[in-house]
Amino acid sequence: MTFDLTSEQQLIQATAREFAETQIRPIAAEIDRDSRFPHETVKRMGELGLMGMVIPERWGGSGAGAQAYVVALEEIARVCASHAVVMSVNNSLYGDPIARFGTDAQRERFLTPVASGHAHGCFALTEPQAGSDATNQATLAVRDGDHYVLNGCKRFVTTGREASFALVFCQTDRAKGHRGITAFVVEKGTRGFTVGKTEDKLGIRASDTAELLFDDCRVPVQSRIGDEGQGFKIAMTAIDGGRVGIAAQAIGIATGAYERSVAYARERRAFGVIIGEHQMVQWMLADMAVAIDGARLLTRKAAALKDAGRPYRTAAAMAKLFAAETAMKVTTDAIQVHGGYGFIKEYEVERAFRDAKITQLYEGTSQIQKLVVARHLLRGDHDGV
C-alpha cells in the first residue's frame, strides 16, 4: 500500500473538493435546517460520476475503485454529511451488490440508471425488530407462479423516499432462518409498495430516512437478485463495502470540524493571547489531528484491500469503528475549542457534532464492529488485518 494518491485519484479529490466548496457549502446549513433533500446538487454529483464510482463503466459507473471513492466521499462529507450518505448508499449498498450478484439484464435495468446518477437506489434491510440483529427478518416473500408476493415493513431506509429502486431483503423460507433470506429489487410505483413516514432526525437531516411498506406487493421472479437463501450474504457483503464508505464519511465530518477549530484557535483571543497559545487547546487540536490521520490510514487500507480483491471484512469494521469514534470525539472537542460559540449554529461545528453521531450507529453500531473484529481474531481468521 502506498501513501500517495495516483494522479487520477488526486484529480478526483480536487474535483470533489471544488464541487463541495462551491456548490454544496452555500446550501449546507439551509438544507440541514429545513430537512430538504438536495436534488439539484445530488444530480450534479451524478454528472460528475460520483454516484457510481465503484461501479464498472459498462454499467453506467465511473469504475474509479474504492480508494478513489473514499477520497471523494471524505471531501463531500467534510462539507455536508447528508450529501455523503446519499452518495455512499447509492454506491456501496445499492450499486455494488447489484453489480456483483445481478445478471446482465438486471444490471442493465436496475443498475445503469442509478450508477449514472439518473435515479437513486436504497437498501432495505432494517426492520422494527431487526437492527443490529439483522438475521431476524420478518418481511415475507411467498412464491406465486412467476412472481413473489411481499408483505412487511422496512425501517430507517436511507434515501427510501427518494429512491426509484429498493434492494429489499425478505424471508422466503422462515424455517431456514438467515439462510432463508432472499434479495429483490422493487421498483417505485409497484402496486403494494408505499413509502411510510420520513423520520425527523438529529443529524444528516437533508438525506431522507424512510419507512417502506409492502402489502401484497407482487414482484416478478426476474427481480430476485441471486438465488433464494443468498440474501443475507448479499446484504453482509454490501455492508462490508458500505462500512468503508461510512468510515470515509466520518473522517470527512471530523476533518471539517478540526479545520474550523484550528482556524478559530488562531484568531480567538483569551487571557491576552490567541487561544492556540494555551496548552490545553493545543492538546485537543493535536489529539484531533492524530486520530483523523489514524482513521484515514485504516480506511485507505480497507479500500486498498477491496480494490486488490483481497478479504477486507475485518479491516472495514476496524476502519468504521475507529473513524466513527474519532468523528464523535473530534466534533465534541471542536465545540469545546469554540466554547459557547460552538454551541450555536453559526459556527457549523454544531452541525458536524450532530452529523457525527449517526456514524456510530448505521451500517452496524460501534459495538457490532467490535463484535465483528473480535470474532475474526478469536477464530484465527485475520482477514484484511
C-alpha cell at 116: 449514472
**17 and 75 Cβ atoms separated by less than 8 Å:** yes
**60 and 111 Cβ atoms separated by less than 8 Å:** yes
Q: Which of residues 169-208 bind ligand CAA (CB under 6 A)?
A: 178-179
For ligand CAA, which residue of 69, 123, 258, 353 counts as binding (CB under 6 A)? Answer: 123
Q: How far is the CB of 368 from ligand CAA (least distance, A)?
A: 5
Q: How far is the CB of 204 from ligand CAA (least distance, A)?
A: 9
**Judging by DSSP bridges, how do beta strands 121-124 and 165-171 pair with one another?**
parallel
Q: How far is the CB of 208 from ligand CAA (least distance, A)?
A: 11
Q: Which of residues 313-352 bind ligand CAA (CB under 6 A)?
A: 313
- Comparing CB distances to ligand CAA, the nearer of 9 and 369 is 369
The one segment of 85-93, 95-103, 266-274, 286-294 that binds ligand CAA by CB under 6 A: 85-93
Report the distance separating Cα 213 and Cα 196, nearest Å.
6
- Comparing CB distances to ligand CAA, the nearer of 213 and 265 is 213
Which sign, positive or negative, has the C-alpha torsion 244, 246, 252, 255? negative
The one segment of 165-173, 250-258, 345-353, 364-372 that binds ligand CAA by CB under 6 A: 364-372
- Interaction of residue 158 with ligand CAA, rule CB under 6 A: yes
The one segment of 71-79, 123-131, 184-192, 301-309 that binds ligand CAA by CB under 6 A: 123-131
- Comparing CB distances to ligand CAA, the nearer of 19 and 232 is 232
In angstroms, how far is the first alpha carbon of the chain from the final one?
A: 13
197, burial (CB in 10 Å: exposed 0-12, middle 13-18, buried 19+): exposed
- Interaction of residue 148 with ligand CAA, rule CB under 6 A: no
Q: Residues binding ligand CAA: what is the number (CB under 6 A)? A: 25
- Interaction of residue 138 with ligand CAA, rule CB under 6 A: no
The one segment of 30-38, 60-68, 129-137, 189-197 that binds ligand CAA by CB under 6 A: 129-137
**322 and 298 Cβ atoms separated by less than 8 Å:** yes
- Comparing CB distances to ligand CAA, the nearer of 6 and 135 is 135
- Interaction of residue 87 with ligand CAA, rule CB under 6 A: no
For ligand CAA, which residue of 154, 288, 363, 376 counts as binding (CB under 6 A)? Answer: 363
**192 and 152 Cβ atoms separated by less than 8 Å:** no
For ligand CAA, which residue of 132, 222, 282, 367 counts as binding (CB under 6 A)? Answer: 132
**238 and 96 Cβ atoms separated by less than 8 Å:** yes
- Comparing CB distances to ligand CAA, the nearer of 344 and 374 is 374
- Comparing CB distances to ligand CAA, the nearer of 103 and 136 is 136
**57 catalytic per annotation:** no
The one segment of 12-20, 29-37, 43-51, 119-127 that binds ligand CAA by CB under 6 A: 119-127
- Comparing CB distances to ligand CAA, the nearer of 116 and 314 is 314
Q: Which of residues 234-293 bind ligand CAA (CB under 6 A)?
A: 236-237, 239-240
Report the distance separating Cα 250 and Cα 244, nearest Å.
10
Catalytic residue numbers read 363
Under the rule (CB under 6 A), what is the footprint of ligand CAA?
A: 85, 89, 93, 123, 125-126, 132, 134-135, 156, 158, 178-179, 232-233, 236-237, 239-240, 313, 362-364, 368, 372
